Structure 1
Amino acid sequence: MATKTIARPRTPVASEDNAQDPADLLENTLSQLEALLWVCHGEEIDWCSGDGPRRLDNLLWLAAELARKAGELFQMSEKARRGAPETGG
């Protein structure tokens, strides 16, 4: 039986806690964007050979990053909502 594999970037990914060189961040973002556009083209994509596995890996990386950022934004919005004074009606 196949084991689950979590997509990981081919180059290190920066977070706010672990800042990277802007050129590296740009390269990461361009790799994700390229994979997304490649899928949007969508004709006769072979996910098992050629560029397919690398593109799929980058798409999963993009989705994971977006999910992480969405979670962070949700936590920030909850903190702001709980910290905001309630208005009386």
Structure 2
Amino acid sequence: MATKTIARPRTPVSPTGNDQDPTDLLENTLAQLEALLWICHGEDIDWCSGNGPSHLDNVLWLASDLARKAGVLFQLSEKARREAPVTGP
């Protein structure tokens, strides 16, 4: 049985995520975009060899990043909603 692979960034990410070099962030984003476009082509993709596993990891990493960012945005929106003054008629 295959082992479970967890998608992860190619370069280390600081705990805050704000200290990363813009060049590294751009490289990470380009790797994710390339992988997403690669799987969208869809023809003759071999997920078990060649570039397949690498692209699959990058797509899973992209999905993980989006889920993390969505969670942060949800928390921020809930905080803003709770702190908003109540206006009524």
TM-score (norm 1): 0.88
The alignment of Structure 1 onto Structure 2 pairs a total of residues equal to 89
Structure 1 contact 45–52 (Cα < 8 Å) conserved: yes
| TM-aligned CA distance change 1:60 to 1:43, over 3 Å | same
Q: Which whole-Å CA distance do the structure 1 matches of 2:13 and 2:41 have between them?
A: 26
Spell out structure 1 runs of 4+ moving beyond 6 A.
none
TM-score (norm 2): 0.88
1:27 corresponds to: 27
Name the residue aligned to 2:44.
44
| Code of the aligned partner of 1:4 | K
The percentage of aligned residue pairs carrying the same residue is 78
* Structure 1: unaligned runs, 5 residues or longer: none
What is the RMSD of the two structures over their aligned residues, measured on CA atoms? 1.7
Of 25-34 and 13-22, deviating more is 13-22
> How many Å separate the matches in 1 of 2:44 and 2:14?
33
Q: Which residue of 2 aligns with 1:86?
A: 86
Alpha-carbon distance, 1:12 to partner: 2.4
* Counterpart for residue 69 of structure 2: 69
